[in-house]
Amino acid sequence: MKIARARFVKSAVSPDQFPAGQFPEIAFVGRSNVGKSSLINSLLVSPGLAKTSSTPGRTQLINFFQVNDGFYFVDLPGYGYARVPLEIKRSWGPMVQGYLATRANLVLVVVITDARHEPAKLDLQMTEWLQSRGKPFIVVATKSDKLSANKLKANLARLSGAFSGATVIPYSSVTRLGTDQVWREIVSAANVQHG
Ligand code: GTP
Ligand code: MG
């Protein structure tokens, strides 16, 4: 995918703040610190566009990024981080679930999991919930640069089994392994021209 332009549009906490228009949206979800914002930056070849941090809980709002003046990438706050203030945790559920459940522009959810680990219970709950709602999703196993080729292969098979045969794409925001495969899924979901 040729990225001519990638820009931050806005942060939102409620539907009335979501961008107007009919552009397709691709949302990125997963546990805190799994690498959602890094994946967005790496796909868009735009370091620093989405704020990343080694401290979990960096992304606390729904952030909209527009690509090539067309479709949007939506960076969502991570789930499962214990040290996020209670107030934020309480608002997380309604905010993120509200977005995922009701946003008509949403065409694909990218569920990001850590290639090194078994899927987190919350990841499985998320994919089961998406499935029950008929929301299209893919699983991206990131940080795969931290594994040997053999270990990665074994873990991918395990993840694919755990996610009931869903597409699991190995990824690394460091080496950019998996970029083409993830873009293929996005382009097909958003129905855009592959430039
Ligand atoms: P929250 O917004 O806090 O939920 O986190 P996030 O899921 O957006 O994670 P973020 O992209 O901020 O990355 C968290 C940490 O993991 C950072 O220190 C990143 O540099 C690191 N990281 C992310 N992706 C990769 C990857 O593919 N490989 C390696 N080695 N490190 C990564
Ligand atoms: Mg983030």
Q: What is the reported pTM?
A: 0.94
Q: Which of 75, 176, 81, 159 is nearest to 115 (CA)?
A: 159
Best residue for ligand 1 mutational test, from 173, 175, 177 (most atoms within 8 Å of Cβ): 173
Give the closest residue to 40 by CA, choosing from 32, 28, 30.
28
Residue nearest atom 28 of ligand 1, based on CA coordinates: 143
pLDDT (average), residues 62-83: 88
Q: CA-CA distance, 150 to 9, in Å (whole number)?
A: 41
79-93 in b/e form (b: 16+ CB < 10 A) is: bbbeebeeeebeebe
C-beta separation of 77 from 28 below 8 A = no
110 exposure class (CB count in 10 Å sphere: 0-12, 13-18, 19+): buried
Can you tell me the mean pLDDT for 70-90?
Answer: 76
% of the chain beyond a pLDDT of 90: 68
The band of 20, judged by pLDDT with boundaries at 50, 70 and 90, is very high
Ligand 1 atom closest to 33 (CA) = 5
SS3 184: helix
Please compute, for residue 137, the number of CA atoms within 13 A of its CA located in the half-sphere on the CB side: 28
pLDDT digits (tens, 9 = 90+) for 145-171: 999 999 999 999 999 999 988 889 999
Query: How far is residue 117's CA from residue 182's CA, in Å, rounded to a whole number?
Result: 20
Ligand with minimal distance to 171 CA: 1
Which residue's alpha carbon is at the smallest distance from atom 30 of ligand 1? 143
pLDDT value at residue 32: 86
Provide the sign of the torsion angle of the four alpha carbons 110, 115, 117, 118, taken in this order: positive
Cα–Cα distance, 67 to 34 (Å, whole number):
23
Domains, the chain, with CATH or none: 6-190 (3.40.50.300)
Check pLDDT > 80 for residue 81.
no
Cβ burial, residue 20 (10 Å; 0-12/13-18/19+):
exposed
